[in-house]
Structure 1
Amino acid sequence: MLNPVHLRTLVEVVKTGSFAEAARRLGYTSSAVSQQISAFERAVGVTLFEREAHSIRPAAAALLIADRGGELLAAFDGFEHEVKAMVQGLRGRLRIGTFPTASARVVPKALAKLQAELPGAEIRLDEAEPDDVLPLVLAGELDLALVYAYDLVPRTWPEELTVLPLLDESLLVMVPSAHQAAKNNVRLEDLKDERWIASRDGTSGATCLTRLCAAAGFAPKIAFRSNDYEVVQSLVAAGVGVALVPALGYKELPGTHAMPLRHKPVRRHVHVVHRTANTNPLLRDAVNALQEVCRNAVAGHLYQP
């Protein structure tokens, strides 16, 4: 197998026409250069230089190898630069998983920050609920993911994961703006006779609503289900029901009124998770960007009405 160090030495000798000058440029001794050229000749099985008392002359094979070898070394140098940049976090690929409301309110600003700081990095984004993205993080198919857990629906995190908090968001009750509850801070039991709009059965949001209502002494009458909070809020605006919406999913919509529950502060907690053993150098930058965006959001009271 050809030694790239020897190839680089040969290219320099052909370029300078001298073992001594090539040695000076490469930081070797003349003897080391001579030994490397001899080793290269043994590897290819042909004499590459005609040696005379005070000069050398490259053979045709040496000229050909130097010409092609220069191209290979240039490509190798570029590859080496890319590897160093990747290790330093300047390039590489980062695969992020996130859930829909974070996709809309948190992730875009974090991605913009990352792309500005690391323009050579390739960032991929996949969207799904936490139960779907967590196995992908554990399998190494995603580098990190944004996930959530409700106060009333706690999660147990696998030991292989590092779990870092991003923000805590309020849960808001949404009612039509003409609803009597819109004039006061609402108690959950005041809404026991209402039709409810909830997320899909079995989701953490739906489970949280059921447990919250059970603690207030009733079972919610769920008339409609959707995992799209824009749909949920549009249904509220149409006057067909009330809903419990996390602050990340809330957008001010004509015909609706949103408020936190009185005396029952319940929150959804957003985390970023990654495998503890993951050595991707872009992880630190991504986590820092997400934490900064969330700090600014909380400071601006966007997610804690």
Structure 2
Amino acid sequence: MLDTQKLVTFATVVRTGSFAAAARELGYTQPGVSQQMKALERDLRATLFSRAGRGLKLSEEGEALAGRVGGLIADLRAAEERVAAVSRLKQGRVRVCAFPSANATLVPAAMSRLRSRHVNIEIELFEAEPPESLEGLERGDYDVVVAFRYDDQPPAPEVGELVTIPLLDEPMVLMMSDEHPLARRKQVELAELDTARWIAGCVRCRQEFVNACADAGFAPRIDITTDDNLAVQSYVVAGLGLAVMPRMTQSFVKHPKLRAKPLLPERRRHVTATILRSQPKTGAVERVIESLLHAARELNSAYI
């Protein structure tokens, strides 16, 4: 059985070119690195290094391992994470990762309901945007991921490891100051705003906005970009531009002088919960999904 730490040490020796350099980087002693490499050679029943003057040279076996060691380390760590996840879930501990606006609205409501009904379930909360959050799910970092996609992004096919549960479809809204000339309008056509200045949000929201403008026949003039939803609203209220944001962002923080208008043609963000197909079917995960679905229904009702 290959040991992950020995493989990490081997990869560091290969990259740095010597036992001494690897020891300095890893915080080991040089004899400690040498002992690990001898142990790895015993495990593999192969000689991995030969001396080349004062340096090291990889043997043919060492070259073969060096070409695969990165993938081996990743696979072993993923396996370790998956095993740890199974153990964690059996104990009623669930790791939930969500994007920022969901962590400010949907997830707190779901977790409050979960705690009031299932006191033996412990939740660890994390924050990340897709696709990073979904990559973490596949690595075993998380057990449930709350993610999203936009209209122009096709749903993930129900194949492979990821299983997606729809939670909420929310429209994109146009945000403006209450002093803006269009503030009294009930709804606004995006094509009318081809000369406007814009405030743009997170990377994926910004790309969705640019795509929407392209469909409307213009390229937007984006003056300010920020991942901070409160900052977006503050810039808009200050009269520095308009913004197109998912409706969820105004439900957890809304500036008193902000106006949000339906945008035509309508575009939507689709919020989902994702789990792994191979994940153990534990009651804890099922209860988390149930609570997220309930919170999504409640949030959707509040919009109507």
Pick the TM interval, shorter chain: 0.5 to 0.7
Q: Who wins on radius of gyration, i.e. which is larger?
A: 1
Question: Partner residue of 1:33?
Answer: none
| Cα separation, 2, equivalents of 1:178 and 1:240 | 12
Question: Does residue 216 of the first structure (1) align with residue 231 of the second (2)?
Answer: no
Question: Partner residue of 1:229?
Answer: 229
Question: Does residue 118 of the first structure (1) align with residue 118 of the second (2)?
Answer: yes
Q: After TM superposition, give the deviation of residue 90 of structure 1 in Å.
A: 9.2
TM-score by length of 1: 0.66
Contact map agreement 2:233 2:254 (CA 8 A) in 1:
no
From 248, 253, 256, the equivalent of 2:255 is 253
Question: Partner residue of 1:183?
Answer: 184
Question: Partner residue of 1:199?
Answer: 201
Question: Partner residue of 1:22?
Answer: none
| Cα separation, 1, equivalents of 2:115 and 2:246 | 28
Question: Does residue 273 of the first structure (1) align with residue 274 of the second (2)?
Answer: yes
Q: After TM superposition, give the deviation of residue 146 of structure 1 in Å.
A: 0.2
- What value does the CA root-mean-square deviation take over the aligned residues? 2.0
Deviations 1:54-92 (A, max 9, x none): xxxxxxxxxxxxxxxxxxxxxxxxxxxxxxxx99x8952
| Cα separation, 1, equivalents of 2:90 and 2:162 | 24
Question: Partner residue of 1:136?
Answer: 136
Unaligned segments of structure 2, at least 5 residues: 1-85
Q: After TM superposition, give the deviation of residue 271 of structure 1 in Å.
A: 0.3
| Cα separation, 2, equivalents of 1:289 and 1:155 | 23
Secondary structure at the aligned position of 1:147 is classed as strand
Unaligned segments of structure 1, at least 5 residues: 1-85
Question: Partner residue of 1:164?
Answer: 165
Contact map agreement 2:156 2:164 (CA 8 A) in 1:
no
Contact map agreement 2:201 2:245 (CA 8 A) in 1:
no
Secondary structure at the aligned position of 1:300 is classed as helix
Contact map agreement 2:177 2:238 (CA 8 A) in 1:
yes
| Cα separation, 1, equivalents of 2:155 and 2:163 | 14
TM-score by length of 2: 0.66
Question: Partner residue of 1:239?
Answer: 239
Question: Partner residue of 2:106?
Answer: 106
Say which is worse superposed, 90-99 or 269-278, in terms of deviation: 90-99
| Cα separation, 2, equivalents of 1:209 and 1:109 | 28
| Cα separation, 1, equivalents of 2:237 and 2:139 | 42
Letter in 1 for 2:294: E
Q: After TM superposition, give the deviation of residue 177 of structure 1 in Å.
A: 1.1
Alignment length, in residue pairs?
213
Secondary structure at the aligned position of 2:208 is classed as helix
Letter in 2 for 1:211: N
| Cα separation, 2, equivalents of 1:95 and 1:128 | 13
Question: Partner residue of 2:29?
Answer: none
Tell me which stretches of 4 or more aligned residues in structure 1 moved more than 6 Å: none
